């Protein structure tokens, strides 16, 4: 019974670790939750935990491994008819593809994330932020700015402070790393 309880608590602890950028901790928690999910045949939970583990591994410098895990997790969720959180997991796939140098694929993937489950707004600000970063990398500064602004506005409407902060910090970080451009500096 203790193992079964850890599957659920481990999944949420791993996801929280992802959000606060504790990659090693997220990886360890997700790996243990995945092992226990598979041992106890919790297919839906295993699928979700695979995406968390994949996202953590991509952020720890293993994007190819992360892409594979995220794809398996998404497939597993679809196989059992689970659609909750798929927009988030698809946006995570786009992030992993970007980390693997496949910006074109990442843009296509994040577009899919933004089109699936339109009523599931909770993850939309993060998907918009991700698309904004990808567009910025492709020198589409006006489109990137629009994405960042939309992400910030939606996060404010939802009172989602962490999504709002992430959407606000992305353009600041990009400007710090790449230097100011006239298009984005005048309006941010």
pLDDT at 154 over 70: yes
Rounded distance, CA 184 to CA 171, Å?
A: 8
The tokens for 145 are 């700015």
Give residue 179's pLDDT band: very low, low, confident or very high (50, 70, 90).
low
Q: What is the pLDDT of residue 180?
A: 60
For the chain, percent of residues with pLDDT exceeding 70: 92
Identify the pLDDT of residue 183.
Answer: 52
* Domains in the chain: boundaries: 1-82
Tell the residue number behind the tokens 């990009």, with chain if given.
174
The answer to whether 53 and 74 have CB atoms below 8 angstroms apart is no
pLDDT at 182: 45
Mean pLDDT score across all residues of the chain: 89
CATH class of segment(s) 1-82: mainly alpha
pLDDT for 91: 96
Report d(CA 96, CA 90) in Å as an integer: 10
Q: Cα 75–80–83 angle (5° rounding)?
A: 70
How far is residue 77's CA from residue 55's CA, in Å, rounded to a whole number? 16
Confidence class of residue 176 from pLDDT cuts 50, 70 and 90?
confident
CA pair distance 128, 176, nearest whole angstrom: 20
Beta strands in 52-142 (DSSP E): none
**How large is the average pLDDT for residues 43-52?**
92
Q: What is the pLDDT of residues 96-113, one digit of tens each?
A: 999 999 999 999 999 999
Name the one residue in this structure whose structure tokens are 């106890």.
40
Please say whether the beta carbons of 97 and 106 come within 8 A: yes
Contact predicate 97/137, CB 8 Å: no
pLDDT band at 118 (very low <50, low <70, confident <90, very high): confident
Type and span of the H or E element at 187: none
pLDDT, tens digit, 9 for 90 and up, residues 77-93: 999 888 888 999 999 99
């Amino acid at each position: 019974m203790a193992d079964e309880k850890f599957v659920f608590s481990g999944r949420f602890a791993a996801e929280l670790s992802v959000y606060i950028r504790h990659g090693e901790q997220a990886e360890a928690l997700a790996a243990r939750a995945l092992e226990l999910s598979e041992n106890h045949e919790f297919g839906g939970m295993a699928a979700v935990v695979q995406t968390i583990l994949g996202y953590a591994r991509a952020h720890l410098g293993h994007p190819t491994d992360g892409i594979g895990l995220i794809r398996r997790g998404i497939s597993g969720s679809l196989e059992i008819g689970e659609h909750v959180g798929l927009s988030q997991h698809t946006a995570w796939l786009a992030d992993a593809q970007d980390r693997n140098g496949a910006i074109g694929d990442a843009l296509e993937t994040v577009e899919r994330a933004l089109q699936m489950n339109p009523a599931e707004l909770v993850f939309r600000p993060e998907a918009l932020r991700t698309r904004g970063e990808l567009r910025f990398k492709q020198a589409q500064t006006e489109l990137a700015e629009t994405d960042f602004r939309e992400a910030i506005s939606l996060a404010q409407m939802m009172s989602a402070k962490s999504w709002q902060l992430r959407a606000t910090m992305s353009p600041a970080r990009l400007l710090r790393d790449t230097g100011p451009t006239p298009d984005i500096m005048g309006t941010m």
